């Protein structure tokens, strides 16, 4: 049985959506992990007593932080940026999932319409 060009096109779109969805989900998970790491770092910095030496990783070495307030501000900015990215990716992911499900239903209906009826 020959699959009509329209259905073949929908199947191609379906596969592309699936790849996009996987990529967006992967990015969201990665940024979410970074966000949680930044949040945990901020929490730990808030526990640090004044005068305690704080170090940060730069490349493959540890560097002593001289401006703790500046570091906290930088981390807060990173947290905000990551939070915005996660929200954006979640929105994209939701839209892609909806398109994915709709296209899946369209393909299923079209394929069922192509089958000869048993009546």
Supply the pLDDT for residue 119.
44
Q: Which CATH architecture has domain 5-114?
A: Orthogonal Bundle (1.10)
Q: How far is CA 117 from the centre of its chain?
A: 43
Question: Distance between CA atoms of 89 and 30, rounded to whole angstroms?
Answer: 11
How confident is the model at residue 64, as a pLDDT? 95
pLDDT band at residue 1, thresholds of 50, 70 and 90? low
CA-CA distance, 79 to 117, in Å (whole number)? 58
Q: What pLDDT digit, counting tens, does each position of 40-94 carry?
A: 999 999 999 888 999 999 999 999 999 999 999 999 999 999 999 999 999 999 9
pTM: 0.80
Residues 9-40: pLDDT tens digits?
A: 999 999 999 999 999 999 999 999 999 999 99
> Coil, strand or helix: which one is 119?
coil
pLDDT range class, residue 2, cuts 50, 70, 90: confident
């Amino acid at each position: 049985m020959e699959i009509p060009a329209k259905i073949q096109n929908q199947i191609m779109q379906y596969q592309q959506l699936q790849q996009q969805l996987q990529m967006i989900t992967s990015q969201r998970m990665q940024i979410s992990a970074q966000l949680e790491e930044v949040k945990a770092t901020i929490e730990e910095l808030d526990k640090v007593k004044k005068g305690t030496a704080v170090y940060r990783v730069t490349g493959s070495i540890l560097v002593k932080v001289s401006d703790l307030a500046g570091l906290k501000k930088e981390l807060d900015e990173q947290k905000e940026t990551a939070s915005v990215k996660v929200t954006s990716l979640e929105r994209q992911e939701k839209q892609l999932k909806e398109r994915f499900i709709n296209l899946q239903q369209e393909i299923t209906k079209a394929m069922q319409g192509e089958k000869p009826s048993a009546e």
